[in-house]
């Protein structure tokens, strides 16, 4: 198990955004998380990556480390990387700087070496830059490396955010709606890139996505959230036919008697 949560809860005032979720994720799996808006998917990500503190009684374990009360930057250094729904691109930095800043946890030198400006630093910086350029050309952004991130198009931004999250060579990558706002062709392209990256880096993935086609096609297993609770889990096919899931998305299925009553009023 690379990620494990027990009784994970988070409330904002009276609202239970996440309510006692037990979640387990084996290595090398692609897990999809779906659910209606406001069902707690993003909150779940924020709790796991340490951006929110979870409520007392929760327990989160990542790759053998107890990360329940660990600050986000330490969690990242254990090898957990994520993207954000609203991208959170570094707008005023160049594309290559964006990706290189994702490398931070792997930077090999110490601060004082950097102050003195030893040769070793510049060599290593150049090596990092080369590696990151390779990553950029892999996602198809190499030509734009020196432009500001704010000058990229929507689809390119999605790719850049993905590259930045990969740069730290994570063990677990959590993608928050990677394909939101993309055209069908771009979605296919993005998913292809994600699959290739998974193979290349041996990633475990969690994907929040509203485009069900993406989830059904790529994920090994799917977890469904509703009102902060986990309502279903299983292979895509199982989940698709789950009554609780259908109810969450479409409403309850009525039998004939109920239907007649509803129509009679």
Give whichever of 113 and 188 is closer to other proteins, judged by the CB atom. Answer: 113
Applying CB under 8 A, among 16, 107, 189, 236 the residue interacting with other proteins is: 107
Question: Do 9 and 192 meet the contact criterion of CB atoms below 8 Å apart?
Answer: no
How far apart are alpha carbons 167 and 104 in whole angstroms? 9
What is the rounded radius of gyration, in angstroms, for the C-alpha atoms of the chain? Answer: 21
How far apart are alpha carbons 99 and 62 in whole angstroms? 24
Give whichever of 50 and 222 is closer to other proteins, judged by the CB atom. Answer: 50
How far apart are alpha carbons 160 and 179 in whole angstroms? 13
Taking residue 194's Cβ as centre, other Cβ atoms within 10 Å add up to: 23
The long-range contacts involving 69-78, CB below 8 angstroms and separated by at least 24 positions, are 74/50, 75/49, 75/50, 76/49, 76/105, 76/168, 77/105, 78/171
Q: Which single residue is written with the structure tokens 């977890």?
A: 223
9 binds other proteins (CB under 8 A): no
Interface stretch with other proteins, choices 14-22, 47-55, 60-68, 233-241 (CB under 8 A)? 47-55
Give whichever of 72 and 236 is closer to other proteins, judged by the CB atom. Answer: 72
Interface stretch with other proteins, choices 8-16, 26-34, 111-119, 231-239 (CB under 8 A)? 111-119
Residues 114-173 that bind other proteins (CB under 8 A): 114-117, 119, 121-123, 125, 128, 143, 146-147, 164-165, 168
Closest CA to 165 of 123, 205, 192, 115: 205
Count of residues touching other proteins (by CB under 8 A): 43
How far apart are alpha carbons 217 and 209 in whole angstroms? 12
Burial of 228 per CB tally in 10 Å (0-12, 13-18, 19+):
buried
Give whichever of 173 and 215 is closer to other proteins, judged by the CB atom. Answer: 173
Element (H, E) at 102: none
CB of residue 76 vs other proteins: minimum separation in angstroms?
Answer: 3
How far apart are alpha carbons 135 and 238 in whole angstroms? 36
CB of residue 41 vs other proteins: minimum separation in angstroms?
Answer: 16
Give whichever of 89 and 245 is closer to other proteins, judged by the CB atom. Answer: 89
Q: Tell me the three state secondary structure of residue 70.
A: coil
Give whichever of 2 and 173 is closer to other proteins, judged by the CB atom. Answer: 173
Interface stretch with other proteins, choices 6-14, 55-63, 110-118, 201-209 (CB under 8 A)? 110-118
180 binds other proteins (CB under 8 A): no
49 binds other proteins (CB under 8 A): yes
Which residues make up the interface to other proteins (CB under 8 A)?
49-51, 71-73, 76-77, 81-82, 84, 88-93, 97, 100-105, 107, 109, 111, 114-117, 119, 121-123, 125, 128, 143, 146-147, 164-165, 168
């Amino acid at each position: 198990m690379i990620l494990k949560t027990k009784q994970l809860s988070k409330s904002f005032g009276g609202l239970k955004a996440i309510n006692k979720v037990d979640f387990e994720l084996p290595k090398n799996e692609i897990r999809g998380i779906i659910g209606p808006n406001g069902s707690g998917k993003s909150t779940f990500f924020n709790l796991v990556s340490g951006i929110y503190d979870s409520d007392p009684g929760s327990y989160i374990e990542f790759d053998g480390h107890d990360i329940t009360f660990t600050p986000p930057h330490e969690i990242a250094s254990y090898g957990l990387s994520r993207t954000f729904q609203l991208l959170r691109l570094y707008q005023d930095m160049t594309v290559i700087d964006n990706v290189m800043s994702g490398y931070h946890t792997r930077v090999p030198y110490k601060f004082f070496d950097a102050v003195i400006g030893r040769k070793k630093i510049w060599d290593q910086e150049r090596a990092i830059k080369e590696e990151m350029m390779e990553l950029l050309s892999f996602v198809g952004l190499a030509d734009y490396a020196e432009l500001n991130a704010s000058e990229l198009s929507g689809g390119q931004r999605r790719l850049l955010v993905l590259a930045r999250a990969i740069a730290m060579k994570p063990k677990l990558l959590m993608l928050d709606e990677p394909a939101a706002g993309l055209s069908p062709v771009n979605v296919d392209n993005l998913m292809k890139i994600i699959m290739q990256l998974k193979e290349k880096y041996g990633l475990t993935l969690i994907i929040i996505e509203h485009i069900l086609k993406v989830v059904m096609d790529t994920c090994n297993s799917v977890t469904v959230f509703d009102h902060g609770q986990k309502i279903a889990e299983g292979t895509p096919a199982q989940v698709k036919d789950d009554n609780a899931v259908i109810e969450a998305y479409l409403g309850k299925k009525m039998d004939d008697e109920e239907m007649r009553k509803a129509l009679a009023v």
